[in-house]
Amino acid sequence: MKRKLIIISAVVLVLALLLTLAPACGKGEEEKTPTPGVTPTPGVTPTPTPEVKTLKIGIILPLSGPAGPWGIQTEQGAEWAKDRINEAGGIKVGDDTYMIKFVKCDDKYIGSEGITCATRMVYDEQVHYVIGSIGVNVAIAPMLTEGKVINMGIGTASAATVNPEHPYLLYSLQGFETWVNAFYKQFAKVHPEVKTVGVIGLVPDPSAASVPLTVDAVETQMGAEVVAAVEHTAGTTDFYPLLTPIVAKNPDAIALYSQGVGSQALIIKQARELGYEGILAASNHGEPLPGCAIAGNEAYTGVYHNEPVYDSDLYPEATRALYAEFQKVYPGEPCGLCHYLGFSTVYFYKQAIETAGSIDPDEVLKVFDDPNWTYEWWGQPGRSLGGLETYGIRRVNQDETVLTSTDENCQKVPVSRELVTIP
pLDDT digits (tens, 9 = 90+) for 353-381: 999 999 999 999 888 878 778 888 888 88
Provide the pLDDT confidence category of residue 254 given band limits of 50, 70 and 90: very high
Among residues 332, 231, 237, the alpha carbon closest in space to that of 289 is found at: 332
- 233 lies in some domain: yes
153 and 165 fall within a common domain: yes
**Does 289 share its domain with 352?**
no
Give the pLDDT score at 265: 92
- Does the pLDDT at position 257 exceed 80? yes
The confidence score (pLDDT) of residue 44 equals 61
349: domain CATH number is: 3.40.50.2300
Residue 34, number of CB atoms within 10 A of its CB: 11
Kindly state whether residue 34 falls inside one of the protein's structural domains.
no
Same domain, 196 and 232: yes
Query: Considering the entire predicted model, what is its pTM?
Result: 0.76
Q: Are residues 68 and 157 in the same domain?
A: yes
- 192/299 same-domain check: yes
Confidence band for 219, pLDDT divided at 50, 70 and 90 = very high
- State whether 294 and 321 are in the same domain: no
Domains identified in the chain, total number: 2
Q: How confident is the model at residue 158 (pLDDT cuts 50, 70, 90)?
A: low
User: What is the span of the domain harbouring residue 167?
Assistant: 52-175+314-400
39 assigned to some structural domain: no
Q: What is the pLDDT of residue 23?
A: 40
Query: Is 282 in the same domain as 382?
Result: no
Q: Are residues 142 and 61 part of one domain?
A: yes
